[in-house]
């Protein structure tokens, strides 16, 4: 099977906050900031486009908190 070099899309969401720690049920997270996420992706590959958005959303512990969504295209 031949692989295409045309590129593609990647979408990911991350709990945010710019710190690290445990959530209310004991799970460990690093809670990166939007700036950290953008820097990680810029260093990882040569993307055609990078979009980083911040929003408030829910989690497994039924609370609201900051999230970062990143969408990139190769």
* Burial class (CB within 10 angstroms; exposed 0-12, middle 13-18, buried 19+) of 53: exposed
- Summarised one tens digit per residue, pLDDT across range 39-71 is 999 999 999 999 999 999 987 777 888 999 999
Q: What is the pTM of this model?
A: 0.77
% of residues, the chain, pLDDT over 70: 92
Helix or strand run (H / E) with residue 43: helix 34-44
Q: How many residues does the chain have?
A: 74
**Confidence (pLDDT) at 4:** 57
Residue 7 in tokens: 């590129």
CA 29 – CA 16 distance, rounded (Å): 9
pLDDT (mean) for 11-28: 87
pLDDT (mean) for 9-23: 89
């Amino acid at each position: 099977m031949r692989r295409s070099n045309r590129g593609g899309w990647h979408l990911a969401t991350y709990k945010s906050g710019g710190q690290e720690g445990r959530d209310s049920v004991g799970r460990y997270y690093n809670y990166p900031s939007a700036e950290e996420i953008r820097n990680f992706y810029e260093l990882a590959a040569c993307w055609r486009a990078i979009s980083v958005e911040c929003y408030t959303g829910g989690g497994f512990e039924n609370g609201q908190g900051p999230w970062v969504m990143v969408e990139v295209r190769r």
